[in-house]
Chains A and B, each alone.
Chain A
Amino acid sequence: MVEPFPAFVRPLQVERRAQKISDPIQRLRYLRRATTPAGSATTPARSSLSWRWAASLALAMVIVPLGTHAISRKPLPRKKSEAVVRHPVPDTPVVWPVEQTNEYDLYSNGLRIENSLAISNQPRLYSLLSRGSETPGPRRSQPAGIVFHTTESDQAPFESSQKSALKRIGQELLAYVRNKRAYHFVIDRFGRVHRIVVESDTANHAGHSVWADSQWLYLDLNASFIGVAFEARTQADQQPINAPQIHAAKALVEMLRGKYNLLPENCVTHSQVSVNPDNMRIGYHTDWGTGFPFQEVGLPENYEIPNPALYLFGFDYDPAYISATGPDLWKALALAEERRRESAAERGVTVAEYRKILQQRYKDAQSALQDRSAEQEK
């Protein structure tokens, strides 16, 4: 049950050297060799290695670029240009307006947007936060991405005998979200796209929220992201939306991405961005925590993007969030936590200490943005 720590090992020295090895597998390999006696019967592969040899190997590993990223603790090295210039995405769809009237807009990809409920709100204007410095950058009036929602509203069975109920419930929902200025677009159960808040204005769809791309951080996405809601209710055992809704969403996403040059990785679900600053946990809202058909609407599998609220701002999550989400999102959480652990190790602090630093960074970033908006109002 108790095994003595090998007497020949000088722990501080070993630890110091291990700390210089960024790749976790290489570090483990070094530590295992350094703490295994030469000639150990249990580790024949290592028997010819003295720990001094292993230490030299470790030093070499620090100097020589590592060929393996066995367990990715770090994002792959980014090209410098990527951090500075935002390139248009090669597959940005080309969609152009065919007809625009007070009643509807028609686009070249078949998208039709119903305008009869369109309403204004506050004009869209937000400050970008520079990733790395967390200082407010330039102001922007164009959206940076899309947040997908479900309305979680009443549902009637999607059957012809229910069409009166389906229409009535849909109309009541649209009136409600218009009154609340809750989203920019709602896709009803017949696949019709309704414009609610006009694109140039903010909508109240993602109050406390965090997202990041390779260059910018986004806090409180009401202004920076377009809110697209599906008339749907999350159900445990079936897809909450139907084929007409997916078809409409694909056309809408194509149009919006083409119009605003949106990065595909900035088209994400409410569950991925929602945070609760009161308890510093993610997932205050968990709609589309699983099952969003990214590929069917022409987007990459964005559930797999490590959650920036975790590794950039020290948010955490609880089992309720896990149970409301799915395995794809869990992988992203694990990746985010690995990044956080790696960053903590690089700074020589515990994860708990590092989380506190990140949380302070979040508060500072929020204050900086509030100061910036106060300046704007003057």
Chain B
Amino acid sequence: MRQVETSKSEPIGLDVGTSRIVTARQTNHEIAYATQLNAFVAIPYSKMTESALQKEGVPHSVEGAEILVHGNESERFADLLNRDVRRTMTRGVLNPDEPDNVKLIRAITSSLTGTVEKGQKVCFTVPAATLGAEDNLTYHEVTLRQILSDLGFEATSINEGLAVVYGEMESTNYTGIGISCGGGLCNVCLSYLTVPILSFSIPKAGDFIDSSAASVTGERPNHIRILKEQSFYINGHFDNKLQQVLSVYYDDMIQALVGCLRKAFQGARNLPKLTRPIPLVLSGGTAIPKGFKERFETILRASDFPVELSEIRMAADPLTTTAKGALVAALSDN
């Protein structure tokens, strides 16, 4: 991870995702990003292990009889120990099965933001409610706000899909559909002149693909995720079993996403009258594989999607788009 020196009082964009936590800061005339996996792995406590971790500079915390290695290093340790990483979040919100999730998110966030100047502004991302469900996201949002407040920040939040629009659609006056395909959720937002008119999420996303593929192949989900991000591509050719399985579940996810898009937009009342076609931008780690956009576009164009689109494109940097959008929001609040 490359840390960039910036003024500590500058606003920060913070994407708190199920899979990764990403910060965005403005440095002179560009944006600097830093990323940590939002994950950890527990190893049995021993003094020797703890001093070895300290010596190596591996981020960790001691919780009773366990040492929790968190952030990017968790992946390496999980591989060494042949076990899966654990997550502080699931399906876009705090994981109720992990009692230490708040401490770990605080530790990971703190490792990314460094020293905070009291009152420094941060804008963090929050998911939208799941389509058709009445999710209560208040606890998640309030807890994150509290963590950031404890760190010294003055925190505001932004819907994840809207962050995609803020990060990518300046040329259309922040009008368009932003989609973030993350680990736990796919978040969708239709923004019209910066106003989030329609937003929702669906729980079929990267983790769904990983766990489904893992159950078929016998691999660990984390291993699937790594393979997926490094070398998977959707091209209709099945070179091996994993490629085939991933293709099947990707297709399932894309079909579900398009189905929900169509349903949500067809059922929405009071949508503003759009005078011209609007763009749709895809972002997030799950959208990275080669061929994703093309497959999504094929399925969407074949559906009866009621909004005329000017283009369907990938975000410039899908892994950092939402953090960038959050930074843009924070800067505009400044």
Q: Which residues of B contact A19 (CB under 8 A)?
A: 173
Q: Which residues of B contact A69 (CB under 8 A)?
A: 29
B197 touches A5 (CB 8 A): yes
Contact with A along B126-157 (1 / 0, CB 8 A): 00110100000000000000000000000000
Q: Which residues A306-336 have CB closer than 8 A to chain B?
A: 318-320, 322-323, 327, 330-331, 333-335
Q: Which residues of B contact A72 (CB under 8 A)?
A: 28-30
B196 touches A25 (CB 8 A): no
A318 touches B193 (CB 8 A): no
Q: A341–B231 Cα gap in the complex (Å)?
A: 29
User: In the complex where A4-B270, A14-B193, A334-B316 touch, is A352 in contact with B173 (Cβ < 8 A)?
Assistant: no
Q: A18–B195 Cα gap in the complex (Å)?
A: 14
B316 touches A2 (CB 8 A): no
B333 touches A1 (CB 8 A): no
User: In the complex where A29-B332, A71-B26 touch, is A351 in contact with B197 (Cβ < 8 A)?
Assistant: no
B313 touches A351 (CB 8 A): yes
Listed residue (B174, B313, B316) with the most chain A CB atoms within 10 angstroms of its CB: B316
Chain B minimum-CB-distance residue to A17: B173
- Chain B: residues with Cβ within 8 Å of the partner, total of 50
Q: A319–B172 Cα gap in the complex (Å)?
A: 25
Q: A341–B268 Cα gap in the complex (Å)?
A: 30
CB of A338 to closest CB in B, whole Å: 7
Comparing A183-191, A256-264, A342-350, the segment that makes contact with chain B is A342-350
Q: A45–B332 Cα gap in the complex (Å)?
A: 12
Is the contact region of chain A dominated by helix, strand, or loop, or is it mixed?
Answer: helix
A1 touches B272 (CB 8 A): no
Task: Please tell me if B184 contacts chain A, counting CB pairs below 8 Å.
Answer: no
Contact with A along B43-68 (1 / 0, CB 8 A): 00000000000000000000000000
User: In the complex where A1-B198, A1-B200, A350-B311 touch, is A45 in contact with B173 (Cβ < 8 A)?
Assistant: no
Task: Please tell me if A195 contacts chain B, counting CB pairs below 8 Å.
Answer: no
Q: A244–B174 Cα gap in the complex (Å)?
A: 52
Q: A331–B67 Cα gap in the complex (Å)?
A: 36
B331 touches A70 (CB 8 A): yes
Task: Please tell me if B2 contacts chain A, counting CB pairs below 8 Å.
Answer: yes
Task: Please tell me if A337 contacts chain B, counting CB pairs below 8 Å.
Answer: yes
Task: Please tell me if B310 contacts chain A, counting CB pairs below 8 Å.
Answer: yes
Q: Which residues of B contact A84 (CB under 8 A)?
A: none
Q: A348–B271 Cα gap in the complex (Å)?
A: 24
B30 touches A331 (CB 8 A): yes
Task: Please tell me if B296 contacts chain A, counting CB pairs below 8 Å.
Answer: no
A352 touches B310 (CB 8 A): yes
Q: Which residues of B contact A341 (CB under 8 A)?
A: 170-171
B316 touches A338 (CB 8 A): yes
CB of B4 to closest CB in A, whole Å: 10
Contact with B along A1-31 (1 / 0, CB 8 A): 1111110010110110011000011011101
Q: Which residues of B contact A18 (CB under 8 A)?
A: 173, 193
Task: Please tell me if B275 contacts chain A, counting CB pairs below 8 Å.
Answer: yes
Task: Please tell me if A270 contacts chain B, counting CB pairs below 8 Å.
Answer: no
Q: Which of B194, B264, B270, B313 contacts A31 (CB 8 A)?
A: B194
User: In the complex where A28-B166, A337-B316 touch, is A9 in contact with B171 (Cβ < 8 A)?
Assistant: no
Name the 3 nearest CB pairs between A and B, nearest first: A72-B29, A345-B171, A24-B170
Can you give 17 A-B contacts (C-beta < 8 A)?
A1-B128, A1-B129, A1-B131, A2-B271, A3-B198, A11-B275, A28-B329, A31-B193, A71-B327, A333-B317, A337-B316, A341-B170, A342-B170, A350-B171, A350-B310, A351-B313, A352-B311
